[in-house]
Structure 1
Amino acid sequence: MASAYAYLFKFIIIGSSATGKSCLLLRFTDDRFQVTHDLTIGVEFGTRTLTARNGQRVKLQIWDTAGQESFRSITRSYYRGSAAALLVYDITRRETFLDVTSWLNDVRAYATRNTTVVLVGNKSDLEDQRQVAREEGEAFARNHGLLFIETSAKTGSNVAEAFAIAADAVLERIVRGELEGNMEQYGVRIGTGAGSTNRPAVVQLERGTTSSSTRRSSTNCC
């Protein structure tokens, strides 16, 4: 029963290039960090199973999409059938925060109306280089009905929490009956077992694997 889980959720990671999206995925799935990381062409994929706040085991299938404009038309196809999206910007590069509106518009256009969106301000370890105040991120999230968190893929700060709050929010939508009918259209599948416990979230149960698409040109992105 070690592999049993109550639900499988499809997550996507979106945002401008070099905001640390791939590093967040690598930290979450493999608990490691790469100083340099090749820019993603297309998508990367990883999995991890965790325990949600209600004690249920949830397996996440996570698609990390390329941030370059030239791949937007390709990666938009991954928005469909996503339970949650982590929308990432770099707190040290204001232009990536200004781009958040465009990315959110894509989510609204190509994902379902019940897709949970978490706004993620990455690279919180670079406080001395900060260009986007935490309050700005919080205000944007509040004004657009998003969840918000700041993370550091380098130190691991709040990385697991970012995925966990998204998973908890999806579970809450299920409980409230917002994902009725064919849940797969909302990025949700019934898992291999209930896996309910009384343990608190957020506890890692098992790590998965990360696979990469073809890549090009290295960047210090994380």
Structure 2
Amino acid sequence: MASTHEDDYDHLYKVVLVGDATVGKTHLLSRYIKDSLPKAPTATIGVEFATRTVPLAVGGTVKAQIWDTAGQERYRAITSAHYRRAVGALLVYDITKQVLVLALAQASFQNCLKWMEELRQSAEPDIVIMLVGNKVDLVEKDPSTRQVYYDAAAEFARQHGLIFSEASAVTAHNVKHVFEHLLQEIYNQTSKGRGRQSNEPPLVGGGIQLPAGGPSKDSCEQQC
């Protein structure tokens, strides 16, 4: 019975999660698919895969194929190959990491431009990208840990035609919203025929501005 329900859908969308290592991509996916976090989190090696069937507010039902990609440079050739045919992406960064202090330090927000360019080179031409600032829960506990301010990220999203939201895999804040807002926006764009035109205003929305950040909890498991 469950499999019959899973096979009952109107649209099939391939979505990828991209971003630096340790920003919480796997945790976000696990929270969305399982409503839990990995019991023994480890770095994603290559690509992991999950599916979920989602009823849209408008447009019927979508079966989402969600690909969680590794953030390490050494897996780049593997992960970029999986961008093919992707019509949507969550571009994830850590709101507590922005500035390069040491040569090996992560600058996950600064690297968003690089990830975005790779997506637009390898995925579908009209791919819908949602910028997601993860780990809001850390900022709620200690506002001084915030390195990427909401307004700066929202402006980056406006400049580059991205949707934007902040989330927390740990607390589940906005997790369902970011995935399902992205799926709805993919439907909205594809139903127009060829997606956004270059002269249309960038997509905005999906964000809740919190003074200190917001809940964030990640969990991911491979499901095929």
Q: TM-score, normalised by structure 2?
A: 0.78
Shift of 1:126: 1.2
The structure in which a higher percent of residues are strand is: 1
Shift of 1:8: 1.3
How do 1:73-92 and structure 2 match up within 5 A? 73-92=77-96
Is the contact between residue 47 and residue 210 of structure 1 (CA under 8 Å) also seen in structure 2?
no
Partner of 2:128: 116
Q: After TM superposition, what 4+ stretches of structure 1 lie above 4 angstroms from structure 2?
A: none
Partner of 1:11: 15
Partner of 1:144: 160
Residue type matched to 1:15 in 2? G
Residue type matched to 2:37 in 1? F
Partner of 1:216: none
Partner of 2:213: none
Q: 1:46, 1:58 → 2: CA distance? A: 14
Is 1:68 aligned to 2:83, yes or no? no
1:171 pairs with one of 176, 187, 209? 187
Q: What stretches of structure 2 of length at least 5 have no aligned partner? A: 99-106, 196-219
Is 1:135 aligned to 2:151, yes or no? yes
How do 1:37-52 and structure 2 match up within 5 A? 37-52=41-56
Shift of 1:36: 5.2
Note the aligned Cα RMSD (angstroms). Answer: 1.6
Rate the CA distance shift 1:42–1:173 in 2: closer, same or farther, 3 A.
Answer: same
Query: Bigger relative contact order, structure 1 or 2, given CA contacts below 8 A and separation 6+?
Result: 1
Q: 2:33, 2:166 → 1: CA distance? A: 18
CA shift digits 1:145-198 (9 cap, x unpaired): 00001010001011111111111111112221116xxxxxxxxxxxxxxxxxxx
Residue type matched to 1:2 in 2? H
How do 1:190-205 and structure 2 match up within 5 A? none
Q: TM-score, normalised by structure 1?
A: 0.78
CA shift digits 1:63-93 (9 cap, x unpaired): 0000001111110001110010100000011
Residue type matched to 2:22 in 1? A
- The SS at the match of 2:133 is strand
